[in-house]
Structure formats: structure tokens, C-alpha cells
Amino acid sequence: MNVLVYDSHSYDRQFLEAANRGRHTLDFTTSQLDLQTATLAQGHAAICIFVNDDGSAPVLEKLASLGVRAIALRSTGFNNVDLEAAKRFGITVMRVAYYSPYAVAEHAVALLQTLNRHTHRAYNRTREFNFRLGGLLGRDIHGSTVGVVGTGKIGLAFASIMKGFGCKLLGYDAAENPACRELGMTYKPLNELLPEADIVSLHVPLLPATRHLINQDTLALMKPGAFLINTSRGGLVDTEALTEALRQGRLAGVGLDVYEEEDGLFFQDLSDRVVSDDVLARLMMFPNVLITGHQAFFTREAVTTIAETTLQNLDDFAAGRLNDNVLTKN
Ligand SMILES: NC(=O)c1ccc[n+]([C@@H]2O[C@H](COP(=O)([O-])OP(=O)(O)OC[C@H]3O[C@@H](n4cnc5c(N)ncnc54)[C@H](O)[C@@H]3O)[C@@H](O)[C@H]2O)c1
């Protein structure tokens, strides 16, 4: 099958070509999918997209008119694709339902401990032979209460690590995970979890029900001096409300791997440009905010599985098999 890979970087090409082993004809473009760039898909039966590509109804309609019959997402989350519209236009959408949950969970812990122990500041200081400790005071994570918001695959992996640190585990989820219960997690409604947790880590998907789950009201419920970590999707957090909570000094630290307006910013080098996103610029000014550019998934193991599953999805689609990664089954 001819497949156009949108929003592709050198690492996408490297891992997808290694997984492909010549089965499909893969073409690569650095362009993100939108209404204009959809025309590039002409002559391709399938396209492969990532988290910030636009899979809205008008774009899907355009793709269908060009003969695109399948979309292979290189991600678990699929909030950027209108599945109902895809069904209407006869496009099969597939995702990578499972890849290393450890990649994301371990990155959440990296954000937490960088903020807590200020290793990013220590790195800069010691390179200038400044070995003073002022401003680097952290706290023991051992004995802290951790609120895991979303206790699926990644939430479970995160909870397991925090259990190893010696933390008390609280969980919030629409469906309880027995494996989390086995770790000793106590499930609570969100409004009871937030006031008790010293660390809150978000692992629910972005859905209409979870958009701005962390907002002015829920931020007000958080324990003063708590850490908030978001490695899931930017839209879970109302960034304006978060900025206000930070301005009032109510949080010890905020670690974000995702940002609600990351589309057009993340995965790009904008270091020689003026970035006009005032909200992001303001967030960057807080010394207790640490932002990474949606890199939580970015381990060798995870990227290998993403590539292999994507190619398997394309194989199955080409052979007429509807595997478990298909999101557009009726
Ligand atoms: N930053 C990254 O690189 C990266 C990489 C992979 C995944 N993610 C994000 O992490 C999210 C979680 O991934 P996962 O593999 O753990 O998914 P999962 O499906 O295993 O777990 C999600 C959990 O959220 C719960 N949930 C769903 N809707 C809910 C609601 N309305 N209220 C409360 N709980 C709800 C589910 O019951 C489930 O337990 C993904 O949806 C994706 O957005 C981010």
C-alpha cells in the first residue's frame, strides 16, 4: 500500500522504515495534516499521523475524496480525530493501543524529581563550578501521598514506581483497576483526592468529560504546596487557571509534558523566532514550572513498538482484518 507519513521527523523515518522492511511504500512529509496539506495524500490509500495532526471532519472529507481509506495513528490518544466523521466517510482509523506505559510513567517521575530536587538548576550551577546549595532544598518523596488521576496502563506504571518510593497511593478513575488496588491504592472521588495529595499526576485521556478537569475550582481544592504533573494531554488543564494558581504561590511545582495549545509549537525548533503565545511565555517565567515538549513517549522501546504496531495495523487493514486497534468499528 502507498502510505503518506505526516508530521514526520528523522526518528519517525528511521523506526518506521526499520519496521516496514519493504512491505509498504512509505512516503514522508514534515507537514502536519490540515485542510491544505490533505491534498498531499493524493495517490495514497493510507496516511499515518501523530498527536497534533488535524483529523477533523472537513479534513477527513477531503482525504476521503482523494481516495484515502485508512489512517494509522502513531499514538494511543485519538482526541484529534473525529471518529464519527471517519466512519461516515468510510475511513478506517487505527491507533497504537499499547506501547511501553513505563516510558510515560518514568518521564512523569523525572519531571517530579527534577522539580523537587532542582537538578536542572544544579546542573547549570555546577557547570560553572558553583557548588552552593541555596535554592536547591527539596523534600523526601517517601511518605508522600500521591493522587493518580487515571489508573489505566500508565497510571498503574506510575503508581508502581511511587509505591517503590514509599508513597501512599490514592486513585481517581471512572473504572477501578484491580492491579492498582493490589498495590494498596485507595480510590476516592476527585474532590476528596485533591485536598489530600502532595503529588497529583494526570493519566486520563482527553475527552469532553475530562477537558479542563484541572480548573479554577479543582485547583482550589489541591493541597497547598502540592506538585502537579501532566504527561497526558494539555487540554486536561485550564492553563489560565493554572497560571493564576502559580501566581498565587499555591503549588510547589508544575511539570508539563503537554500543553493545550501545543499544536504548532511542540516538535519544532522555534529558538530563533518570537513565540507569540503569551500564556506559554508566562508559564515559562515561573521558576517552579518545568515544560518538556511531549517527549514522555520517546524511549527506544516505546518508539520501536509504535512503529511495529503501526506497520502491523497497515498490514491488517490491507488484508481486510479489523484488529483491536481499529477505532472505527461499529
Ligand atoms: N505524553 C505522552 O507522550 C503520552 C504518551 C502516551 C499516552 N499519553 C496519554 O496518556 C493517556 C493515558 O494512557 P493509558 O495508556 O494509561 O490509557 P488507558 O486507557 O490504559 O487508561 C486511561 C484511564 O482513564 C480512565 N478514564 C477514562 N475516562 C475517564 C473519565 N471521564 N473520568 C475518569 N477516568 C477516566 C479509564 O477508565 C482508564 O483507566 C492517553 O490517553 C494519552 O492521552 C501521553
Q: Which of 97, 100, 61, 32 is nearest to 262 (CA)?
A: 32
Q: How much is the pLDDT for 213? A: 98
Q: State whether the beta carbon of 107 lies less than 6 angstroms from ligand 1.
A: no
Q: How much is the pLDDT for 329? A: 87
pLDDT tens sequence for the chain (330 residues) = 999 999 999 999 999 999 999 999 999 999 999 999 999 999 999 999 999 999 999 999 999 999 999 999 999 989 999 999 999 999 999 999 999 999 999 999 999 999 999 999 999 999 999 999 999 999 999 999 999 999 999 999 999 999 999 999 999 999 999 999 999 999 999 999 999 999 999 999 999 999 999 999 999 999 999 999 999 999 999 999 999 999 999 999 999 999 998 888 898 899 999 989 999 999 999 999 999 999 999 999 999 999 999 999 999 999 999 999 999 986
CA distance 38 to 90: 16
- DSSP per residue over 279-324, as a string? HHHHHHH-TTEEE--S-TT-SHHHHHHHHHHHHHHHHHHHTT---T
Mutate to test the pocket of ligand 1, among 52, 161, 173, 207 (most ligand atoms within 8 A of CB): 173
Can you say whether the dihedral through the CA atoms of 170, 176, 180, 186 is positive or negative?
positive
Q: State whether the beta carbon of 293 lies less than 6 angstroms from ligand 1.
A: no
- pTM given for the model: 0.94
Q: State whether the beta carbon of 190 lies less than 6 angstroms from ligand 1.
A: no
CA distance 194 to 188: 9
Q: Which of 233, 312, 330, 319 is nearest to 72 (CA)?
A: 312
Q: Among this protein's residues, is 192 annotated catalytic?
A: no
Q: Among this protein's residues, is 262 annotated catalytic?
A: yes
Instruction: Report the nearest atom of ligand 1 relative to the CA of 156.
Output: 16
Query: Ligand 1: distance of its center to the CA of 205 in Å?
Result: 4
Q: From the candidates 88, 262, 300, 321, which is the catalytic residue?
A: 262
CA distance 246 to 251: 6
